[in-house]
Amino acid sequence: MVAKRKEEAAIYNRLAALRAELASAVGINPQSVGFIERGDYGPSLELALKMAQVFRLPVEAIFSLEPLPALSLQVYGQGERI
């Protein structure tokens, strides 16, 4: 059973767009990806780094304490600036 996160700062993520292959690539149950995606469970640092490695993205492009900007803008410096 996965413990629900305590009342802490929200962690935003892009897992909905990346989850298709993620579970098997990092060796976790697909349900666990859903828990992390919904914010019901926070990944360990090791798991967050493994996820970032799978997608060749910096970990802060996937997880943040603030709402995430467009990926193209954050990672590649492209896209609309607000």
CATH code, 12-76: 1.10.260.40
**Cβ-based neighbour number of residue 30 at 10 Å:** 11
Q: Indicate the domain borders of the chain.
A: 12-76
pLDDT tens per residue, range 32-82:
998 998 899 999 999 999 999 998 999 998 999 999 888 888 777 765 544
List C-alpha distances in Å: 65 to 28, 39, 61.
23, 11, 11
- In this prediction, residue 15 has a pLDDT band, given cuts at 50, 70 and 90, of confident
Alpha helices (H) along the chain:
15-26, 30-38, 45-55, 71-76
pTM over cut 0.85? no
